[in-house]
Structure 1
């Protein structure tokens, strides 16, 4: 049966070429949208590694270069004064807040190897991992007992542990970092392994991550961000009271206070803008392709009226004509999508986009794209096919 349907498609190959290109373009655009949507869906359901509920971020903006240096008395004053507020449960310090766009990367290497690993970094005080409810898989978090040791305490995520220490425990291992210029080698001892920390939110791809211990007593630079864990149900009006308390500590500094829940919502909106733009483009393209398909199918069925009349005269009933028109369109769409698949399957095979395209995402995007194109092709073919099936043999054979 398919051979008989392919024959008329092949005879009109030049007319069908432009139509096939339109379908191919639509398939690629829908595939891109489905691929991005599937990736976002997959990332959204992965653990971020921290809890944002009832946590507020306080950015402490100094007045000059002198304010970037750490003052243990000022840091301790912030800790005590904020923790003493009845609405506050816990206070911790961190280099950059979750859901911010800040990125800190450095190159770590093993002392007996020159191979370097690019790692995302953050620096936290002893209280911060517990404040964020980060999940520890093995070992322990850094604490005051790590103060004064030759190697600075560090904890790494599971992905980094598997990359740098395959097949063995990373606990107690020493890793190194060299400052720019090749001098001042810094050594770190791995104290624990945590699950993950996707600090940029739900749509951040999993990556290697390490967290260094920040010492409030001996740290060279002060922390410019404090995380404040408030009691559940604390109203947004608490922001004014918190700001006043901060001004009592350092009146010459500026402060930016934001609940992590609000920062999360803003970050998710920002991250989904490309997806929304692509979705709008895809909708307009599909509308144009749909109109194009409908027009071409209408013209084709009009030009084929004598052929349809001959089929009706030799015994084909209206259902056969209806089925033939729809099946031809679906087969033409399948050929165009097959060409697209030959090109697109190179993405997961070559790994050109890394972990962004894995086989589950690729297969999901393929299924969605094919379903959309088949649905549009079927809808566009329904009326021309119905119109052709309604022709009487006499009317069709006398058509000029």
Structure 2
């Protein structure tokens, strides 16, 4: 009964409450956007990246001229680095991890269907052990693949689902191809499947990934990334010895040596910049909305002096008046958020934002933004409600 009366009061003042509702709707949508990004980041952090970073270092090779794919050079570098007591594994790759570098291509299934878009990371035989990557099925490529008529490749689970729908568990041994060269398309054979691989780290959206085998001396493309797995506890000062050893072998190379712990921290900081900027903008606008709500509520309350004073004259307690003002604001906020929810729910329903705004993220963002709006409504209505509760029948008669 009380709820019906409050709804009637709000409806009778619908023209006055329109501006207030629009402000609440704007604040709800704004907070939802920031909350959705935050919820998605939290969700992504729970997913595996597919590799380790704690004892891994990365060496980026930079040269004035393009690096030549010379098997002797790679073998020399690998043997000399493994001779260092701190080094456990050495591998080569085309692209760094925990950086914005990405390479992708379009591929076809063996029956010619597709296209399937895959991210690509060329890697040597030792890449999996060096990065502590766990092969869920099959194996990592090795010298056993020498002489094969197809390029051995390790793919992640998502790539297996895209390439071989309905046959993911039997992906090992299956073929697909790169049709970019119509006369001589490159053919790939899956030798292993890893659960995940997200080269940019914890906040990267999962994408279908393939890791083709790089064999030193075979093919024109050279690898410019050296990945190292070091013994636990290796100090940062090891960089000097590492740089000296490589410079002795290849003095013309410029080196950028980075522990993956540092690369990860830097990448996370960079990826969080949009969220931080959005949060600052949202906080500023919420403050502005709060002042707007307070002002409109204050004005509405003062305009209702006769009504409130009459209720007091009829015996209504000050606490009842206080609760009425707050309850009306909560109902008004609920109505505005309901309209916003009807608009925002179209995003996951239509899938326009793909997996970025999935249902768990959507409902988490709705819950968080609703909590913020209710808190904002409460804080904005406390003082106007208190002032309304202090009105006496004498003030109402004087107002008349």
TM over 0.5, yes or no? yes
Partner of 1:287: 287
More displaced, 155-164 or 41-50?
A: 155-164
Aligned pairs for 1:88-107 within 5 A: 88-107=87-106
Partner of 1:73: 72
Question: Cα offset for 1:230?
Answer: 1.5
Per-residue displacement from partner, 1:323-344 (whole Å, max 9, x unpaired)? 1111111111111111101100
Question: Cα offset for 1:321?
Answer: 0.8
User: Using the alignment, how far apart are the partners of 1:184 and 1:386 within structure 2?
Assistant: 80
User: Using the alignment, how far apart are the partners of 1:361 and 1:73 within structure 2?
Assistant: 51
User: Using the alignment, how far apart are the partners of 2:173 and 2:110 within structure 1?
Assistant: 13
User: Using the alignment, how far apart are the partners of 1:311 and 1:206 within structure 2?
Assistant: 60
User: Using the alignment, how far apart are the partners of 1:312 and 1:378 within structure 2?
Assistant: 23
Is the 8 Å Cα contact of residues 89 and 129 (structure 2) preserved in structure 1?
no
Partner of 2:161: 162
Aligned pairs for 1:142-221 within 5 A: 142-168=141-167, 169-179=170-180, 182-221=182-221
Whether 2:296 is the aligned partner of 1:296: answer yes
Question: Cα offset for 1:8?
Answer: 2.4
Partner of 2:336: 336
User: Using the alignment, how far apart are the partners of 2:114 and 2:201 within structure 1?
Assistant: 30
User: Using the alignment, how far apart are the partners of 1:116 and 1:138 within structure 2?
Assistant: 25
Partner of 2:8: 7
User: Using the alignment, how far apart are the partners of 1:200 and 1:79 within structure 2?
Assistant: 25
Partner of 1:124: 123
Question: Cα offset for 1:161?
Answer: 1.1
Aligned pairs for 1:354-365 within 5 A: 354-365=354-365
User: Using the alignment, how far apart are the partners of 1:179 and 1:361 within structure 2?
Assistant: 38
Question: Cα offset for 1:12?
Answer: 2.0
RMSD: 1.2
Aligned to 1:275, what secondary structure does the other structure show? helix
User: Using the alignment, how far apart are the partners of 1:249 and 1:100 within structure 2?
Assistant: 27
Partner of 1:56: 57
User: Using the alignment, how far apart are the partners of 1:90 and 1:139 within structure 2?
Assistant: 21
User: Using the alignment, how far apart are the partners of 1:101 and 1:62 within structure 2?
Assistant: 20
Partner of 1:271: 271
Per-residue displacement from partner, 1:93-117 (whole Å, max 9, x unpaired)? 1111210211110111123224210
Partner of 1:310: 310
Per-residue displacement from partner, 1:72-125 (whole Å, max 9, x unpaired)? 111101101111112211111111121021111011112322421000111111
Question: Cα offset for 1:399?
Answer: 2.2
User: Using the alignment, how far apart are the partners of 2:309 and 2:174 within structure 1?
Assistant: 83
Partner of 2:38: 37
> Which ranges in structure 2 are unaligned for 5 or more consecutive residues?
none
Question: Cα offset for 1:395?
Answer: 2.4
User: Using the alignment, how far apart are the partners of 1:219 and 1:196 within structure 2?
Assistant: 27
TM-score, normalised relative to structure 2: 0.97
User: Using the alignment, how far apart are the partners of 1:141 and 1:377 within structure 2?
Assistant: 58
User: Using the alignment, how far apart are the partners of 1:295 and 1:207 within structure 2?
Assistant: 48
Aligned to 1:90, what secondary structure does the other structure show? strand
Question: Cα offset for 1:225?
Answer: 0.5
Question: Cα offset for 1:312?
Answer: 1.1
Per-residue displacement from partner, 1:143-162 (whole Å, max 9, x unpaired)? 10101110111111111112
Is the 8 Å Cα contact of residues 330 and 374 (structure 2) preserved in structure 1?
yes
Partner of 2:233: 233
Partner of 2:243: 243
Partner of 1:18: 19
Per-residue displacement from partner, 1:343-377 (whole Å, max 9, x unpaired)? 00001100000011111111111011111100110
Point out 4+ residue stretches in structure 1 off by more than 6 angstroms.
Answer: none
User: Using the alignment, how far apart are the partners of 1:71 and 1:18 within structure 2?
Assistant: 71
Question: Cα offset for 1:228?
Answer: 1.3
Is the 8 Å Cα contact of residues 53 and 260 (structure 2) preserved in structure 1?
yes
More displaced, 10-19 or 247-256?
A: 10-19
Aligned to 1:198, what secondary structure does the other structure show? coil
Question: Cα offset for 1:280?
Answer: 0.2
Per-residue displacement from partner, 1:195-220 (whole Å, max 9, x unpaired)? 11100010001110111111124243
Per-residue displacement from partner, 1:31-89 (whole Å, max 9, x unpaired)? 00110000000001110000011111111112213xx3211111101101111112211
Partner of 1:84: 83
Is the 8 Å Cα contact of residues 60 and 257 (structure 2) preserved in structure 1?
yes
Aligned to 2:105, what secondary structure does the other structure show? strand
